[in-house]
Chain A
């Protein structure tokens, strides 16, 4: 039997034969293994992407694509409400950037998203929107958004995970270095939003 007791022997054989079955002197073997280790460590210590705070075009892509996995996705030409806090420069700037980014209408397959800026205090009069896109830095005012999404039965997406944790927003996304999506199930239920089963298997649900 090739049981686990033979593991050490296997490693010995591996070290012996890994370089074509030719026995190596200790120095040569060490040199080659050291070389492999250098490769591994060298690769592993290359710098990774830096931290990021601002919303990016990739974030917007992920948000739009994720909306497509709701069970009753918006279709045709719809408004998306970009919610911002006028008193917060970061939030206001993100809102402006997003509006510029989306122009007069963002066409995505059979869906065209038209950006509409919505002040956090004006959510009640936001009109008909398919979803809310929450800018960063809204802070405690997120509770107002939660109330609005519940009333209007529309989802909210954001990169501000704290708003998802608190239940103010349905879905939070992170696009770098890997795409991560977090959905607050209670907030989703309150907003009348549910997602395709295969999508739910691949995200974090709170």
Chain B
């Protein structure tokens, strides 16, 4: 069982952040870290490979400046190797460009399953994984809260608003996992040290044959402006003069909640 896991390296959410005033994109200078959302996918993949008894986990990422700090975290958790696509032309990529790049990178390695998070912490488009599946010609199952491999199929409990669907999907496939799927392990000291020597293959757009087909120059999406979210308005205060319950019911009826 070989599994490719899409991981994003993002600016530390705990550090001060800023937007580029001209492009409105997140400034990605400085050290990047593994997106917390992706730790669940890495853990899920490690557990599936462990259960299968053979195979390995490959991390696939796209990041500026040959950044590998976040990848090292995933390698320290137990992934065997990583593929990093880094290229100045990728600055300003939209979700589709990112999907093209990641799909092409995944295609360079052997895989039975691709795992991704439902969405990234810094972008939150949530569209990249299914685009990767489409580009690779794979079936995709989103919002997995439980994943099992059974022979040539993957069985997924897919989270819905009402509960969950049980989905059986032939392999190879792409699955996006929620944060409820598994509890990520902490990289052990041994894992951190062994990650130093694990291979990270670095590829450019040219290596993937995507020059002119992906990157900021061909992005079909443009952020035209960014506005601060409106401050939350003060709520309605119901003073109970004996009719409090009635007032609450009327308010909820007004909102069509009851």
Do these two chains interact? no
Q: Contact residues of B with A, CB < 8 Å?
A: none
